[in-house]
Structure 1
Amino acid sequence: MNWSQRLKISFKVGLILFAVTAGNNIKAQDPDTITAIEIRGISKVSRETVLFRSGLKVGDELRTIDFSNILQVLWEMKAFDDIKINVEDAEQGKKVIIIVTERPIIKEIDYRGGTEIGLTSIKDKVKDKKAEIRIDAPYDPDAVRKIKDIIVDLASEKGFRSPSIEVSLEPMGPGLARLLFDIKEGGKNRIYQIKFTGNQVFSEKQLRSIIKTSEYNWFLSPITSKDLLIDKSIDEDIELLKKAYWRKGYKDVFISKPDIRTEDFTTEKARLKNTRLVAEGRSPSYDLRSILNFQIVEGEPFYEGDLKIEGNKVFTEVFYTDKYGIAKRDNSSIIAKFLDLKPTQSTRKKVYFDLGALNEALDKIREGYSNAGYILYRAEPSFTTRVVDGNNFVDTTLKVEEGERFTIRDIVFVGNDSTKDKVLRRAFLLREGDTFGREIFKDSMLRLSQLTFFDIKESEPKVEIVPDKNQVDLTIKGVESGINELLFNGGYGELYGFSLGMSFATKNLNGNGDALQLSVNSGQFQKALSVSLLQPYVADLPYSLSTSIFSNSTDYDASRVGAANAYSQATKGISIGTGARLSNFFKDKQWAYFTEISLGYSWRVVEISGGQNYYFRNANNELTSDVSVSISFNTVDNPYKPTEGTKLSYSYSYGGWQFGGDRANQRSNYEFVNYFSLGERNIFGFNMAYGHIQDLSSRGLLLYNFFRPGGENSIRGYRYGQVGSLEFDPNGYPVVVGGNKQFVANFEYAFKVADAFRFVIFYDAGNAWAPGKRVFSEALRQSIGAELRFFLPISPAPMRLIWSTKLNPYAYDVYGKNDFQFSIGTTF
């Protein structure tokens, strides 16, 4: 409640008391009784609600009632714009009349203008700040003020220092309104000159190179926007300047916020245009140019003295000095930091005292204590200066309060209506009674997010300290999503003709975390049936078991591919596998919780018939039987909506004569994936994969065993199987046969327009090389393009609309240079 509301309540209470005492001539010894209560002005709020909140009842005595409290309680309902309370004479007592003016119910929220800020940015930030206004709720001025502040901050981040945000309510019916935010950003302040006063250690040119903000440049400024006058950027620049001085020993340096002088260079023509824009309700634009002047008081340089630790018991003094040495190393050499070289003791007698390195060391020390469960650790540095031979030295004393080690008392999951608690608990690395370490807690949250069917990104976990105990309670709130998928698909393709199919998949069968998938597809030239089951924990033990049965047939009809390439292929088989995380064997290693090793066996029979091409010869009941082993390290936060993390994997399969296969071979695959984000919306992804198949028989590899890149899962723009070594059949007809060696690389930039929509730009490159040809002996086939990815409630995997262009297509490519594809899933 603000001061104006308190003043209004005090004034009204005074009027009430005046009416009760003076106007009605009440005697102190004769209290009056309330015989009637009337409420006026309500239509949406019930009479019973007002009476219940106010606490008034017929029969109450006036002098026992706190009218100030009643007004405050009614204000806190946030349902009224005005409240009055009158007292009148009534038969055998007093009548209390409560008169209210109800706030309208908000049915819609609309943002107008603000195109430079972006409507999506506003909605996302409002959601992140948990400042959303509920539809069908009364108008709340406090909530509106929060949103206005958020819009002002967003405008400031884009260089708009004086935005205009007008809030209004548009009637939509009796007691109903549309809440309207009318946003006009105004003009951007651009920095045309940056000056420094008082600097002697660094030149103005050196200081400008230290900060991120730059002066206006006609070529670079529209691209980098570093010339915009943004308060947050200025604060960051001041910190960068301080750190530069601290590295030189100037611990007492003072750098003021810059003096800003701004001039309006808007032309007369632009002013006339602005007048028209304002009349049309649109945002005007101005040419505002600013000069910044930083005032610097450098002080004197200081050298490093003695470091003393007091009060430490958990970690020795070596722990502190090591962290301090690492911080100084990182501040002095980017290369040493990148290579993680061990800090060395300086042989120089005088080393500059780096206050920035000390602060960073304290953060690293605090992190170490936090990981050990000492979450209330504190360290206060104190400095003593001394002069030796005309030089200033700083002795540092760290007074440490380690506190007690905290353990976990209780772990509660909220929102798992279908998922059993044990499924979430086995993904969570911490247990009741464990030490509460920040790093392992962070890793536990990552493990939960990798489940894909329990979304925890929308809610922050709650960590509550148990009163009078060295324990914490953890509450993790999530939303179940993408558990079950039922997809119907049908269509027409140039190669496969008409097809109709259905698939059902669940990633959380019966809430046990098991994944089951059933798929059936039937068409003119293609039929497929598959069933697969994955149990990540068998009998609640940390070992996985997977089984898959499949049968499919494809008819490459002469009417579709030409008589020379026509053939039919039928495949049926079964595969089983088991796996375990290395944390079963290395329990004290964090990386082991994200590393999985698997062992599998696959058996399949392939029959090729009706082949008319030299490379698609008939093969009756070719049996492939192999065992495989794989190891994978994966910290990617989400398989469908990745924003950060790394994946490294290696797999090897052996199909020797010992397992009964008709053509012995061995296969190796390597993959590296990395995602990182810049800000909340800019996501970069990189994938690199290499595979090799070696023939161990004298009969050679059949075509279906080759790598055949192309398609939305490898090299977009090229059709599946249309990338690889080119061979000519006996008739001189070119045939892409793929190869026994494959390399594929993918680069992606994804802009997160909204949580359910991403715009992607990509570059793909790759090829496959047939036996007898060296890797990279033929050029990589390349493509670029763009994607729209939609995330729908029916499936966690995105729907994709892919536009692509081949940069170096084959000369004989009959599909054209440009291509459009529709797909569900991800490329890597």
Structure 2
Amino acid sequence: MGRGVAVRTARTLVLGALLAVAMPIAAMAQDYRFAAIQVQGNERVDPSVIAGFAGIPQGETISAGALNAAFQRVVNSGLFEDVSFDPRGGTLVITVRENPVINVISFEGNRRVDDDVLRGVTTSRARRVFSAAQAEQDAAAIAEVYRQGGRFAAEVTPRIIERSGNRLDLVFEIREGATVEIERLSFVGNRAFTDRRLRRVLSTTQAGLLRTFVRTDTFLEGRVELDRALLQDFYLARGYIDFEVLNVASEISREGDAFFVTFTIREGQQYRVGNVSVSSEIAGVEAADFEGYVRVRPGVVFSPTVVEATIARMERQASDRGLRFARVDPRVTRNERNQTVDIDFVLVTGERIFVERIDVQGNVSTLDRVVRREFRIAEGDPLNPRELREAAERIRALGFFSDVQVDGRQGSAPDQVVVDVNVEETTTGSLGFGVSFSRAERLGGALTFSETNFLGRGQELTLAFNTTRGSREFNLDFVEPRLRDGEISGGLSLFYRETDVQSWANFSTRQAQVSPSIGFPVSPFGRMTLRYFLRGDEVRDFRDEVSPVLRADDGRTTTSGVGLRYVYDTRRSELSPDFGVLVRLDQEIAGLGGDRKYLRSTALGVVERRVFGDDVTLRAELEAGAITMLSGRSRVTERFELSDRMRGFRPAGAGPRDLSSVDQDGLGANYFAVARMEADFPLGLPEEYGIAGGVFFDVGSSWGISCPSGVDCSGVDDSRSLRAVAGVSIFWDTPLGPLRFNFSRPVQTKAFDRTQNFDLTIQSRF
């Protein structure tokens, strides 16, 4: 290893300083006039170039200060290691020693960051003149790369290895150091919500037991601004309109291996909606015509999201009436005494500004039209700033981009605006591994591949394979969310499943199905899906001791029909952040060809509420289903299994059963009804453990089995007896995925029911 950059740089600076001081002193009594300039020591740089750097006019008188300035210009060119000026009468002799040329640039000690990434941030290049200052700047740039990755202790030292021919190798020696994790995330000024709840809002996490696998617990300065915005949105959605992040303090430990981050906030008071009114400042437009489109009700917690939704609804109605430039201006009056806000939705005439064009930049694999279709405005439409904000939110919600910026700038005319959309793409594919365990099925596995932006077209592709003891299942789902860039989605689903003879099923099955579908929104939170399905199934390989009720299902059938699903879901919306509902209705009609004719219906209702500062989640679910045969009797592959809807039972462990058969076979049911109630809550353990608890209570029943012709069904228990199970759950959030341990205890069962007291599920995504 040759001399360091610091040695070479110091020598040059000392020489320059001596000349800069000495030359004016020596020349105080005289001026200079040079008839010729002679350059010595140069090998690659032409003498005229060096003389040009000096800029001394020949034959003209110059002062000592001007000569010193000429010297500094040559030094500052960065091409020379040493420079000297020697006046010899009418000749100025400039002697230089050129900086060496870089032979190769290499990096040593970097294991976390590839060489190609480091070359991209350095400006020094092989076969170019070496600059000590530039090498130091490159070292700082490399250190910043590590700093952005959370390695604040990284050290980068540029070293040179001298070669023949005035060449050198430039080596950046890197000591990466360890990532600096966030040892503690804390808050000052929060009263309404606990530190535990607010930590769940942030994108940054506190380091835990499995910190080796977690990367969001690394301190990144750029993530702080995102966390500020997330806290702001969280509080605003809950009526804290005065909320403010006063300061974010980050302190590094004395050892340099941990950060302590503290958010100082001011919550303010929670406000509710007071009086709500509609006014009009547009001539000929009556406010009463728009009052029916206001969904904000007095007494509810004030939320900007609800106000924005009302504004959008009113402006769409105005546009439908031909009022192209009508805008709704929400005028809010605060009543601090009773902590309410009065809202007056005022119809006004907006500026006459049009969208000239929409430019999309930064998308590498995603097609422009995938971004453009999230806009409700097009080139030539009136500009609506609110629509730009909503379009930006819709683009972010796609999940295709890590950053989205939507801005307007002046177009080709004063009334024209160009909308710039700048995006930064992120990974949209995932590979999932799942594990399950139960007493009956033992250990099971799942493999899932999902791509939400297939071929950059915004299409979704999912491949899934699941296996347990005695069963295998394969699914392929493809969804085009915007057919012809509209609101209608299209999909195709393929399904195959087979089961073997097992302890709870004295037969084996095979099923295959293909199902195309279309979907469309029917309300802001509601969606309808219509599908066609063609299914083939086979029941076979019966054991001798199987129930004759099941043996009657022997053989293959083909089912052709249509299905209709309606879903209304507010659980993930900001309509009411601590409350949400889900309603799902499914209707399936078979009989469009094929062997089977029936009407199958299921309904699910879910209510969720978060209480005690959002730390506890209460959930209640009610589900029911019925299959009505239009011809013949139902088959075992069509009937409902209560164990699929209730915890604490083995497969085919509850419901109608043939007690006269050797194994008392479960038969499935034509009807079922189940209620499930559960609560999730913290256990008081350190949050970094990622462990929470829950309790649940399930109660339900299944019944209804038609007896095959010529079969004695006197031994069949088909009563509507209720089953009830209570239990506790342990949730463990690990890098491999969320684990759920269920420990259940039957509260009410039949003597022949088959229960299980424990099951474990894992679902992970990478």
Q: For the superposition of Structure 1 and Structure 2, which TM-score range results when normalised by the shorter chain?
A: 0.5 to 0.7
Structure 2 residue corresponding to 1:509, chosen from 427, 433, 454: 454
CA distance in 1, matches of 2:278, 2:630: 67
Deviation at 1:474, TM superposition (A): 5.2
Q: For the structure 1 residues 680 and 436, does the alpha-carbon distance in structure 2 shift closer, same or farther, using more than 3 Å as the test? A: farther
In structure 2, relative to structure 1, the CA distance for the partners of 1:817 and 1:320 (3 Å cut) is same
Which deviations, in whole Å up to 9, do the C-alpha atoms of 1:565-590 show, x marking residues without a partner?
5522222333222314257xxxxxx6
State the distance in 2 between where 1:25 and 1:408 align. 69
3-state SS of the aligned residue for 1:578? strand
Return closer, same or farther for 1:24/1:648 CA change in 2, 3 Å cut-off.
Answer: farther
Tell me the alpha carbon deviations over residues 276-311 of structure 1, each in whole angstroms, 9 at most, x when there is no partner. xxxxxxxxxxxxxxxxxxxxxxxxxxxxxxx9989x
Letter in 2 for 1:695: M
Task: Tell me what 1:36 maps to.
Answer: 75
Which of 610, 626, 640 is residue 542 of structure 2 equivalent to? 610
Matches within 5 A, 1:640-719: 647-656=582-591, 659-662=593-596, 664-673=597-606, 687-697=621-631, 699-711=632-644, 714-719=645-650
- The whole-number CA distance in structure 2 between the counterparts of 1:574 and 1:398 is 52
Alignment correspondent of 2:282? 313
Indicate the SS of the match to 1:616: helix
Question: Following TM superposition, by how much is the alpha carbon of 1:630 offset from its aligned partner in structure 2, in angstroms?
Answer: 1.2
Contact 2:204 2:223 in 1 (8 A): no
* Partner secondary structure for residue 604 of structure 2: strand
8 Å contact kept, 1:450–1:638: no
Q: Secondary structure at the match of 1:599?
A: strand
Q: How many angstroms apart in 1 are the aligned matches of 2:678 and 2:531?
A: 32
Change (3 A) 1:580 1:722: same
- Contact 1:513–1:536, Cα closer than 8 Å, also in 2: yes
Alpha-carbon distance between aligned partners in 1 of 2:599 and 2:293, rounded to the nearest angstrom: 51
> What CA distance in whole angstroms lies between the structure 1 residues aligned with 2:552 and 2:220?
77
CA apart distance, 1:623: 1.5
Report Cα offsets for 1:398-423 as digits up to 9, x if no partner: 99974415554554566654433334
Q: What is residue 180 of structure 2 aligned with on the other side?
A: 109
Q: Over aligned residue pairs, what C-alpha RMSD do you find?
A: 6.6
Inter-partner Cα distance in structure 1 for 2:665 and 2:746: 20
- In structure 2, give the amino acid aligned to 1:715: M
Tell me which amino acid in the other structure corresponds to 1:581. Answer: F
Distance in 1 separating the partners of 2:521 and 2:622: 24
User: Which residue in the other structure is 1:579 paired with?
Assistant: 518
Kindly provide the CA deviation profile for residues 84-135 of structure 1, in whole angstroms up to 9, marking residues without a partner as x.
Answer: xxxxxxxxxxxxxxxxxxxx9996435556678869967965859xxxxxxx
Distance in 1 between residues matched to 2:763 and 2:749, nearest whole Å: 27
Query: Given the superposition, is the C-alpha separation of residues 501 and 403 from structure 1 closer, same or farther in structure 2, using an over 3 Å criterion?
Result: closer
Change (3 A) 1:779 1:498: closer
1:347-746 maps to which residues of 2 (within 5 A)?
A: 402-405=349-352, 407-411=354-358, 416-426=363-373, 429-435=376-382, 454-455=399-400, 459=403, 461-466=405-410, 468-469=414-415, 471=417, 473=419, 475=421, 477=423, 479-485=425-431, 495=440, 504-518=449-463, 525-529=470-474, 531-536=476-481, 544-557=489-502, 561=503, 566-581=505-520, 591=524, 595-611=527-543, 612-614=545-547, 615-634=549-568, 647-656=582-591, 659-662=593-596, 664-673=597-606, 687-697=621-631, 699-711=632-644, 714-723=645-654, 725-730=655-660, 736-746=666-676
Distance in 1, matches of 2:311 and 2:436, equals 61
Partner of residue 788 from structure 1, selected from 729, 732, 738: 732
Q: 1:778 aligns with which of 722, 735, 739?
A: 722
The letter of the residue matching 1:659 is: G
1:479 Cα offset (Å): 4.6
Shift of 1:821: 1.4
Aligned partner letter, 2:287: V
Cα 1:665–1:463 change in 2 (3 A) is same
**Deviations 1:326-367 (Å, cap 9, x if unpaired)?**
98x82xxx5xx79xxxxxxxxxxxxxxxxx9xxx99997899
Cα 1:746–1:413 change in 2 (3 A) is: farther
1:497/1:525 contact within 8 Å kept: no
Amino acid at match of 1:819: F
Structure 1 residues 427 and 23, CA gap change in structure 2 (3 angstroms) = same
Describe the SS at the equivalent of 1:690.
strand
Aligned length: 566
> Is this contact kept in 2: 1:323–1:365, CA < 8 A?
no
Instruction: Identify unmatched segments of 5+ residues in structure 1.
Output: 1-17, 55-77, 80-103, 129-139, 171-177, 186-229, 248-306, 339-355, 383-396, 584-589, 793-797
2:369 match: secondary structure: helix
1:677 to 1:313, Cα distance in 2 relative to 1, 3 A: farther
AA in 2 matched with 1:475:
V
Aligned-partner Cα distance in 2 for 1:646–1:691:
19
Deviation at 1:609, TM superposition (A): 3.1
Tell me, which stretches of 5 or more residues in structure 2 are unaligned? 1-19, 32-61, 82-121, 125-129, 138-146, 149-174, 189-194, 206-218, 235-241, 334-343, 706-716
Which of 804, 818, 822 aligns to 2:743? It is 804
* Secondary structure of 1:703 counterpart: coil
TM-score, L = length of structure 2:
0.54
Q: 1:416 to 1:669 in 2, by over 3 A?
A: farther
Contact residue 607 and residue 621 of structure 2 kept, 8 A: yes
Indicate how the Cα distance of structure 1 residues 366 and 757 shifts in structure 2: closer, same or farther if over 3 A, else same: same
Asked if structure 2 preserves the Cα contact closer than 8 Å seen for 1:739 and 1:770, the reply is yes
In 1: Cα distance, 2:419 partner to 2:479 partner: 33
| Contact kept? 1:802, 1:822, Cα under 8 Å | yes
Partner amino acid, structure 2, of 1:702: R
Larger RCO, structures 1/2 (Cα 8 Å, 6+ apart): 2
1:236 offset after TM fit, Å? 1.4
Q: What is the alpha-carbon distance in structure 1 between the residues aligned to residue 579 and residue 26 of structure 2?
A: 73
Change (3 A) 1:553 1:420: same
Counterpart secondary structure, 1:710: helix
Distance 1:124 1:492, change over 3 A: closer
* 1:236 and 2:269 correspond: yes
Inter-CA distance 182–819: structure 2 relative to 1 (3 Å threshold): same
CA contact (8 A) 1:715 1:744 kept: yes
Give secondary structure in 2 for the equivalent of 1:739: coil
Structure 1 segment 189-228 matched on structure 2, within 5 A: none
The SS at the match of 2:457 is: coil
Q: CA deviation at 1:667?
A: 0.6
Alpha-carbon contact 2:656-2:718 (below 8 Å) kept: no
Residues in 2 aligned to 1:439 and 1:625: alpha-carbon distance in whole angstroms: 49
- CA-CA distance at 1:740 after TM superposition: 1.9
Distance in 2 of aligned mates of 1:419 and 1:568: 49
| TM-score between both structures, scaled by the size of structure 1 | 0.51
Aligned to 1:820: 759
Quick one: which amino acid aligns to residue 802 of structure 1?
F
Indicate the SS of the match to 2:75: strand
Residue aligning to 2:709: none
The answer as to whether partners of 1:503 and 1:518 remain within 8 angstroms in 2 is: yes
**Do the aligned partners of residues 365 and 23 (structure 1) sit closer, same or farther apart at CA in structure 2, a change above 3 Å counting?**
farther
Q: Superposed, which structure 2 residues align to 1:139-154 within 5 Å? A: none
Paired with 1:717 and 1:529, the residues of 2 have a C-alpha distance of 26
Whether the aligned pair in 2 keeps the contact of 1:503 and 1:517 (CA below 8 Å) is yes
Helix, strand or coil for the counterpart of 1:707?
coil
